[in-house]
Homo-oligomer: A and B are copies of this chain.
Amino acid sequence: MASTLRVTVWNEFIHERTDKSVQAVYPNGIHAVIADALAEEFRVHTATQDQPDHGLKEEVLAATDVLTWWGHAGHERVRDDVVERVQRRVLEGMGFIALHSAHFSKIFRRLMGTTCSLKWREADDKERIWNLEPGHPITEGIGEYCELPREEMYGERFDIPPPEKLVFIGWFEGGEVFRSGCCWERGHGRVFYFQPGHETYPTYYDASIRKIIRNAVRWAAPRVRIPFACPNPPPLEKITPKNNPAGGAQT
């Protein structure tokens, strides 16, 4: 089921070059493993923060249907004008998938309008991700739940606008819960947040996680591309001329 959808997999690509425990899991970068999962079905391109314009020049975004984003240590190093460019493109119709610690990325916080803060703990929690929407495209092929033997705990309160569709809730061994899969529309684009994916765990090798991200790309595929406009149209019906005495105040 090859698709012509064009996905850009973005990664800040920092931990993998500075931290041996991350390197051991993702020797070529987290983006390489996510790209590998998506290349089974889509036309995949990768981009990283150290590239000019963070690899996200206008022409790259113009040729991107869905953008996936992984960032953590370098959130503040992402240039504001690039963030605005990505946001504009999402609002025109491009799909956007925020992965794990991208909850704190500038672009995700821009799209949400909130702090996107949460509780967290690196303690080898087991996670069970419950599927609340068996009919939703993002859960296709996932049963009642999937499990990760170890994942960073992310816990409520997750400071986000209410998801327009809450797809997954995570159960954590240490006692917390989390809205792990959340859908929104912003402008003409679709946005999915998906919680799993800590850099020291092999989460992006997990078959269910890979399937969910592929499903999310398909769900987030653009339906339209509508550039910004603020039109000033003539009336469609006749407007009765008003008695307008020098703009004076009503009494």
> Restricting to A130-181, which residues have a CB under 8 Å from any CB of B?
130-137, 144, 149-150, 153, 155-159, 161-162, 164-166, 169-177, 179
Decide yes or no: A128 and B236 within 8 Å by CB, A202-B248, A223-B137 being known contacts.
yes
Interface size class of A (residues with CB under 8 A): 35 or more
- Closest B residue to A92 by beta carbon equals B115
29 cross-chain CB contacts under 8 A: A22-B247, A24-B247, A91-B115, A110-B113, A113-B186, A114-B187, A115-B228, A117-B230, A119-B233, A121-B235, A124-B244, A126-B239, A126-B240, A126-B242, A130-B155, A133-B157, A134-B157, A135-B223, A149-B250, A162-B185, A169-B169, A171-B171, A171-B175, A174-B236, A176-B236, A200-B247, A202-B248, A205-B251, A206-B250
Instruction: Please measure, in the bound complex, the distance between the C-alpha atom of A137 and the C-alpha atom of B130, giving whole angstroms.
Output: 28
Establish whether residues A121 and B224, one from each chain, have CB atoms under 8 Å apart when the complex forms: no
Binding site for B on A (CB under 8 A): 21-22, 24-25, 87, 91, 93, 110-115, 117-121, 123-126, 128, 130-137, 144, 149-150, 153, 155-159, 161-162, 164-166, 169-177, 179, 184-188, 200-202, 205-206, 222-224, 226, 228-237, 239-242, 244, 246-251
